[in-house]
Chains A and B, each alone.
Chain A
């Protein structure tokens, strides 16, 4: 099958699951940031817990080669914080904005337009950032197991532990 068709196919399933999971709503996204409705956290952590096991099994069989993003301190911290500040106002992330539009939340169009402008602005600002924020400290494409000297499966066990504690807390609090 063609690469683009594979992408479209995966996207349709992803969008369907996001919608059925109730993850696409503005109120759910902001609700998670207010610790009032943890639907998206439950969705994300469940996906990560299941995905991490499958990824590791495939990597152990040498089927997959991981593609870590660089742990560039300035990029991840400044960019991540900036992302969060905008996210709380927009109420959608880049993926869920398209999904929300599919659900009929048509003002997501403005969020999508803003995101396109933000991407274009970053393309303009990129040379400045490569010499400043991006040049602060780059640890490169590092993985957690090697960094903390643990086995991948120990890290996955810790991830599952943290996930389950979060789930129990959410259900106990009723959020």
Chain B
């Protein structure tokens, strides 16, 4: 369906459909479960981290105030995040875009082909990003999509802060205009 849409219009069409999904999902959870669930992703990482940590030091997790707020458990959003993997895999296979790739082209151009560099950068960047997302209480899904759809002031402010930090670092790392294809 979306595969036949011209490349140029794909982000608009799929984005609009994601908007419909957000509406449908909020409606369905409200009607069927009695609890409105809004799209979001980053809380799941707290719950998953808690589930893993609990295997090694259960007492520490039990005593942690943040894990009491965001309990280590599999919930609606946890399944949503797992579903993203499945849906992306299906989309990539159907659209013949599945590709084993270690180093993204833009990273390759700037930092070379070494996998360990990409692994280290990815790990560090991921850790900082998630620390920030938890401090901000949301990521581009929770704040950016769900927050803006509800016209939350925090969604607008977070969206601006995400991009401000991102633009700053991207320009430092990859230089202005380097990303042009």
Contacts and interface: CB of A to CB of B under 8 A. Distances in A.
A68 B2 CA distance: 32
User: Which of B24, B50, B81, B132 has the largest count of A CB atoms less than 10 A from its CB?
Assistant: B132
Question: Looking at chain B's contact residues, is the secondary structure mostly helix, strand, loop, or mixed?
Answer: helix
B88 A103 contact: yes
B77 A7 contact: yes
Contacts of B91: 15-20, 102-103
Contacts of A126: 64-66
Interface of A: 1, 3-27, 30-37, 39-40, 42-52, 54-56, 58, 63-72, 75-108, 110-127, 129-130, 133-134, 139, 141-145, 147, 152, 155-156, 159, 167, 175
A81 B164 contact: yes
A8 B86 CA distance: 9
A9 to B, nearest CB: 7
Interface residues of B, number: 137
Contacts of A35: 167
Given A7-B80, A104-B100, A119 B177 contact: no
B110 to A, nearest CB: 10
Contacts of A80: 132, 136, 143, 157-158, 160-162, 164-165
Question: Looking at chain A's contact residues, is the secondary structure mostly helix, strand, loop, or mixed?
Answer: helix
Contacts of B20: 50-51, 54
Contacts of A64: 26-27, 30, 36
Interface in B1-49: 2-3, 7, 10-30, 32-33, 35-39, 41-42, 44-46, 48-49
A20 B3 contact: yes
Given A9-B83, A102-B87, A87 B127 contact: no
A85 B148 contact: no
Nearest to B67: A123
B58 interface: no
A40 B15 CA distance: 9
